[in-house]
A and B are shown apart, each in its own frame.
Chain A
Amino acid sequence: MGEENKLSSKQIKALIVSSEIGIGILTLPNRIAITNENDGWIPIILAGLIIIPIIFIMDRIFRMYPDKDFFDIGREVLGKWIFNTFLIFFLIYFIILMSNIMRNLGELIKAFLLETTPIEVIIISFIFATSYIARDNIQVIGRAAYFIYPLILGFVIFLFLVTLPEIDFTNVLPAFQSDFSKIPKGMEQAFFSYIGFEILLFAFPSAEKKEDSLKTAMAGQGIVIVIYTIIFLLTLAQYGVHSLKRQIFPTLSLVKEVDLPGFFVENLDGLVMAFWVLVIFTTMACFYFASGMVLANLFNTRDHAFYIVPIAPIVYVVSMIPRNVLILNETLGKYTNYLGFVTIILMPIIIYIVALFKSRRQAK
Chain B
Amino acid sequence: MQRLVLKSIDKNLETIEKLFENCYDIIIRRMEIGELYRVKMAIVYIDGLVDKDHISNFTIECLFTEEEIKKFTLNGFKSSLLDIISKEIIANSEIKEEYRMEKAIDSILSGDAVLFIDNSDRCLIIGSKQFPARSIAEPVTETVVRGPRDGFTEVLKVNTSLVRRRIKDTNLKIEIKQVGRRSKTDVAILYIDDIVDKSMLLELKERINKIDIDAVIDSSIFENLIEDNYLSPFPQIESTERPDAVAASLYSGRIAIIVDNSPFALLIPATFGTLLQSSEDYYKRWAESSFVRILRIIAVALTVLSPGLYVAITAYHPGLLPTVLTYYLAASRINVPFPAVVEAVLMELTLELLRESGTRISGPIGTTVGIVGGLIIGQAAVEAGIVSPLMIIIVAVTTISSFAIPSYDFGIGFRLWRFILIVCASILGLYGMMLGIIVMITHLIKLNSFGVPYTSPYSGLGIEGGALKDTLIKAPIQYIKSRPTFTNPQNKIRMRGYWKDGRRK
Contact = CB atoms under 8 A, between A and B. Distances in A.
Interface of A: 1-4, 8-11, 14, 109, 113-114, 117, 121-122, 125-126, 129-130, 132-133, 136, 140, 142-144, 146-147, 264-267, 270-271, 274-275, 277-278, 281
Nearest to B486: A3
B334 interface: no
A278 B437 contact: yes
Contacts of A109: 431
A188 B302 CA distance: 43
Of the listed residues A1, A9, A271, the one surrounded by the most CB atoms of chain B closer than 10 A to its CB is A1
B460 A11 contact: yes
Contacts of A122: 428, 431
Nearest to B454: A143
Interface string B448-468: 101111010011110110000
A8 B322 contact: no
A125 B438 CA distance: 11
A259 to B, nearest CB: 10
B449 to A, nearest CB: 11
B435 A4 contact: no
A143 B455 contact: yes
A130 to B, nearest CB: 7
Contacts of B163: none
Nearest to A14: B460
A357 to B, nearest CB: 38
A140 B447 CA distance: 9
Contacts of B458: 146-147
A148 to B, nearest CB: 8
B446 A133 contact: yes
8 contacts: A4-B451, A114-B428, A133-B446, A143-B459, A144-B442, A147-B441, A270-B320, A277-B431
B497 interface: no
Contacts of B316: 113-114
Interface stretch (B11-19, B166-174, B197-205): B197-205
A275 B435 CA distance: 10
Contact of A1 (B442, B451, B460): B451
Contacts of B197: 1
Task: Identify the interface centre among B203, B437, B448: most chain A CB within 10 Å of its CB.
Answer: B437
Contacts of A1: 197, 199-200, 203, 450-451, 488
B460 A277 contact: no
A160 to B, nearest CB: 22
Contacts, number: 109
B442 A266 contact: no
Q: Quick one: which of A2, A121, A130, A133 has the most chain B CB within 10 A?
A: A133
Chain A interface, DSSP helix/strand/loop, else mixed: helix
Given A8-B460, A8-B461, A274 B433 contact: yes
B323 interface: yes
A146 B438 contact: no
A114 B320 contact: no
A11 B434 CA distance: 23
B262 to A, nearest CB: 27
B464 A125 contact: no
B189 to A, nearest CB: 17
Given A3-B461, A271-B430, A278-B438, 17 more contacts: A4-B448, A4-B453, A10-B464, A113-B317, A113-B430, A114-B431, A125-B435, A129-B435, A129-B442, A130-B438, A132-B439, A143-B453, A147-B455, A147-B459, A265-B320, A265-B322, A267-B320
A264 B445 contact: no
Nearest to B436: A129
A142 B455 CA distance: 12
B429 interface: yes
Contacts of B200: 1
Contact of A277 (B320, B434, B453): B434
The 3 closest A-B pairs by CB, nearest first: A143-B459, A146-B460, A1-B451
Contacts of B437: 278
A265 B203 CA distance: 50
B76 interface: no
Contact of A144 (B435, B445, B488): B445
A117 B427 CA distance: 10
A14 B455 CA distance: 15
B464 A133 contact: no
A62 to B, nearest CB: 20
Nearest to A265: B320
B371 interface: no
A125 B321 contact: no
A285 B446 CA distance: 13
A113 B431 CA distance: 7
B469 to A, nearest CB: 16
A307 to B, nearest CB: 18
B445 A133 contact: yes
A143 B445 contact: yes
Nearest to B203: A1
Contacts of B441: 144, 147, 278
A266 B320 contact: yes
B463 to A, nearest CB: 6
A210 to B, nearest CB: 16
A4 B200 CA distance: 12
Nearest to B199: A1
B325 interface: yes
A345 B114 CA distance: 80
Given A114-B431, A133-B442, A277-B435, A266 B323 contact: yes
Nearest to B442: A133
A125 B428 contact: yes
A114 B439 CA distance: 20
A3 B197 CA distance: 12
Contacts of A113: 316-317, 429-431
B319 interface: yes
Given A133-B445, A147-B455, A271 B431 contact: no
A146 B460 CA distance: 6
Contacts of B446: 133, 136, 140
Nearest to A274: B430
Contacts of B434: 274-275, 277-278
A144 B459 contact: yes
Interface centre among B323, B438, B450, B455 (most CB of A within 10 A): B438
Nearest to A270: B320
A274 B308 CA distance: 13
B321 A264 contact: yes
A351 B205 CA distance: 47
A122 B319 CA distance: 20
Contacts of B430: 113, 270-271, 274
Contacts of B488: 1-3
A142 B451 contact: no
A143 B455 CA distance: 8
A10 B320 contact: no
Contacts of B323: 266
Contact of A117 (B428, B461, B464): B428
User: Which of A2, A11, A144 has the most CB atoms of chain B within a 10 A radius of its CB?
Assistant: A144
Contacts of A14: 460
A221 to B, nearest CB: 18
Interface string B310-321: 000000110111
A270 B428 contact: no
Nearest to B453: A143
Nearest to A141: B445
A143 B460 contact: yes
Contact of A264 (B199, B325, B443, B448): B325
Contacts of B452: 4
A266 B460 contact: no
A8 B320 contact: no
Contacts of A3: 461, 488
